[in-house]
Amino acid sequence: MTRTRGRDSGKETLALDVAALRQRLGPAKVALIEQWIREINGPLNAIIARHMHPTALVLDAGCSRGDPDLPALLAGRYTVGCDMDLLGLRANELAHGVVLAPLGKLPFPDNTFDLIACKWVLEHLEQPEIDLGECRRVLKPGGTFIALTPNAYSAFTLISRFIPYRLKQILKGNMFGVHEEDTFRTWYRANSRGRLARLARSVHFETEHLEFLPGMWTFFIFVPFLARLVRRLEDWQRQIPAARGALTYIIGVWKKPGDMNAMDAVDQGD
């Protein structure tokens, strides 16, 4: 499946979804969700914007239905959404074009994209070396790979490992209005500082930036007072360097080296 479309056709549907969510959950809980979106998507969008330019070709890898809270993804010349979620791709009205394909077998020539973004994708990869190797292949020399993913050492992830997949679908649907088919199995094989460093070296990415963000508090929105309390505790955790590595999320930025001819020659020599 490959499809192209206009840029603005989905705005009305997205507005209706937010209105329905507010009616179902109530304004207090929706306000907390919107705050979480600002605090997580805000930093991610800012990082994408810093690496974007008007002529950029962008791959939104694992895009599903698209994310209206990441407008920087559409600031380049053309944005392609890629996923194996057929229903999500059909509902995606944000990307300029969509492609049904696995991350480990991208249907693009070498050195195609200036920037690849992966939001809530790395945790679902069974073979991250293959998938990230494909991302490196289709990135132009000097191109940027940006990812947001849960931290394997956070309390959120440790608890999540013991929640059955079907129950996760129900909880996410009830708490956040997420479509059940948008909840996928998790493996957490690329979800720690050490593991990401090893993967980057194995596929010849250069790590440019890595930071940890709070966000577990949003899972307590069913009791707004409790959510605010957990948020304050996470803010305190963020101020302690030794505890920062156990925050809920990781944002990372990696670069494909500019002189890939020399790097490929080294690979062939090995």
CATH 3.10.28.10, domain 2-269, yes or no:
no
Query: Where are the domains positioned within the chain?
Result: 2-269
Phi and psi torsions of 226, nearest 5°: -65, -40
Helices (H), the chain: 11-25, 27-50, 86-91, 128-138, 155-160, 165-176, 193-202, 224-238, 241-244, 260-269
Reduce the DSSP state of residue 196 to 3 states and report it. Answer: helix
- Residue 190: predicted pLDDT: 97
Neighbours of 52 (CB within 10 A): 20
* DSSP letter assigned to residue 105: S
pLDDT on residue 55: 98
pLDDT of residue 179: 52
**pLDDT given at position 182:** 53
The strand pair at 139-150 and 249-255 is best described as antiparallel
d(CA 232, CA 171): 24
* Contact by Cβ (8 Å): 257, 233: no
Q: Which two tokens stand for residue 48?
A: 């994408």
> CA torsion sign, 63 to 69 to 74 to 76?
negative
Q: Which pLDDT score, from 0 to 100, does residue 248 have?
A: 95
Cα 169 from chain centroid (whole Å): 18
pTM of this structure: 0.85
Residues 6+ apart with CB under 8 A from 169: 180, 183
Torsion of Cα atoms, 129 then 68 then 109 then 198, to 10°:
-20
pLDDT at residue 10, rounded to an integer = 43
Q: Given this model, what pLDDT does residue 33 score?
A: 83
pLDDT of residue 160: 75
For the chain (length 270 residues), average pLDDT per consecutive 10?
53 50 75 89 97 98 94 98 94 96 97 97 96 98 97 88 60 54 76 97 97 90 88 94 94 90 47
Question: Can you give the pLDDT at residue 42?
Answer: 96
